[in-house]
Structures are given as structure tokens and as C-alpha cells.
Amino acid sequence: MPRQHTTQKQSIRAQRAQKKRQQRKIIIGTMIGAGVLLVFLLLLPVILEATRPVGEIVVPELKEHQAVDFNTMGDPNAPVKMVIFSDFQCPFCKVFADDTEQAIIEQYVNTGKLFMVYVPYGPGGNYIGPESLAAANAAFCAADQGKFWEFKQFIFANHTGENVGDYTNKRLTAFAENLGLDMDQFKSCFKSNKFEEKLNEGIAEGRALGAGGTPAFIFNDGAATLTGALPFENFASQIEALLGQ
């Protein structure tokens, strides 16, 4: 075989080998670039959360409550029990908390007639958004330090809309700081989702009892139900009817 022909074949093979090496480099570079992009996209929410300012915190004038135990209030042996299924981002839930709840507490809870339970719950059992779950988790961590109802007041005092950043992790932590909670305990509880199972149990309970829209108020394990931001008179009428049975 002529030497020139052999040299041409070797040159072609060398070119093909070089082309394959270049292709491999391109593929590897593309994969590395895609991996870096994926990591960035995964970390983006964390980056945004870390750089987002806390913003102004509204500090409510806290109301004192009697006979509080975690997310309950009143005498467990009271003749009427009312379970509130409520989403912390629900505007009608805020209306109830702001306008009606305290009157019910003063007239029926503090007098031993009503036992009240607050269950974080979205419409049909589906939270309005991630901030609802974050707020629920934080509220139960506050409850772990005997401050559920006070923390709930902070939550609704700072409610401005749905999924608008009212309840970022930073803001929820700021609520806890303003409330004077043990921050090491709170942060450990919040980060570990300590009460995930208990929150899920509340969702399951609401669905089993047929809680639909929020807020939903279920009396005596389903004997009666009210829904929506109703005036105090509606609750008084229902409670009095159950007291008369």
C-alpha cells in the first residue's frame, strides 16, 4: 500500500477522533451547564427568601384569653363545642377573627358554655397556598409555648391578601420575636415541621365533618354547621339553640 494512502487514512482517523472529543466536550459542557442552571433554579426560592426584606410588622393589641390549651380555649366539658376550620390567608377568616370572635369568647367561652377549637384548614381541605401552611406550622410552634391565640392575632393583623408574601419564613419568625417566644425552640420547631402530623389530622377531621368553604364552624361533632364571615347574632342563635337541647 502506498505510504501516501496510509498517511491519508491516519489523518482521517485523527480528524474523526478529534471531532468525537470535541463532541464529548460539548455534551459534557452542556450537561454541566444544565446542572448548574437546575441547581440555581432549585435554590432561587431560598435566595429570594434570604434577600427579601422583612417589611413592616403590625403589632396588634393582644387580647388576653382564659383556659387556653394549645389551639383550644375554654372548658373541655362545656355543653357546646365549636371547631373553627380556618385558613390564615382567607379574607373572610380574618373578618371573623377581627369582628366576631372576641364577642363569642366573652359571652360563651369565658362563661363556661362553649369550648372552642381552632383548626388550620383550607377550602375543602386544600390550603390557599404555601404561606397558609407555613403560618399554620408557625402558629402550632407558638402553641407549643402556650401562645397560639396570641400568634394568631399577629397573623391576622398582618394579613393583606392571598399569596402576597405576608407569611414568609422571615416574617413569621419576626412575629415570634415580637411575641417574645423562645426563639431557639421556635426555630427548631418551625424548621423541623414538628406538627406536620397534627396539622394533617386537622385536615382529615375537617374533610370527615364536611367542612367546605372557610371559615367553617362545626358544632358538637356535626350537630350543626355555619359557614362564612357571619355576624355575632348567627353564632349566638346557634349556640343558644344547642344549649337549650
Residue at 182 is within a domain: yes
Residues 75 and 162 in one domain: yes
Q: What is the mean pLDDT of residues 85-114?
A: 98
Residue at 57 is within a domain: no
Residue at 18 is within a domain: yes
Residue 49 binned pLDDT confidence (cut-offs 50, 70, 90): very low
Average pLDDT for the chain:
91
CB 162 within 8 A of CB 89: yes
Residues 238 and 198 in one domain: yes
Residue at 45 is within a domain: yes
Residues 1 and 103 in one domain: no
Question: Over 60: is that where the pLDDT of 111 sits?
Answer: yes
Residues 92 and 8 in one domain: no
Residues 139 and 173 in one domain: yes
Regarding predicted confidence, which is higher, 10 or 155? 155
Residues 122 and 38 in one domain: no
Residue at 104 is within a domain: yes
How many of the other CB atoms lie within 10 Å of CB of 171? Answer: 24
Q: Tell me, what CATH number does 144's domain have?
A: 3.40.30.10
Could you identify the residue written with the cell 369550648? 115
Residues 74 and 47 in one domain: no
- Evaluated on CA atoms 60, 64, 67, 73, the torsion sign reads negative
pLDDT confidence of residue 156: 98
Q: At residue 145, what are phi and psi to the nearest 5 degrees?
A: -110, 20
Residue at 221 is within a domain: yes
Q: Which three cell numbers stand for residue 188?
A: 427548631
Residues 91 and 189 in one domain: yes
> pLDDT per residue over 136-191, tens digit each?
999 999 999 999 999 999 999 999 999 999 999 999 999 999 999 999 999 999 99
Residue at 58 is within a domain: no
Residues 47 and 84 in one domain: no
Give the domain range for residue 145: 68-243
Residues 122 and 221 in one domain: yes
Residues 233 and 198 in one domain: yes
| Adjacency order of strands within the sheet including 114-120 | 68-69, 72-73, 114-120, 80-86, 216-219, 224-227
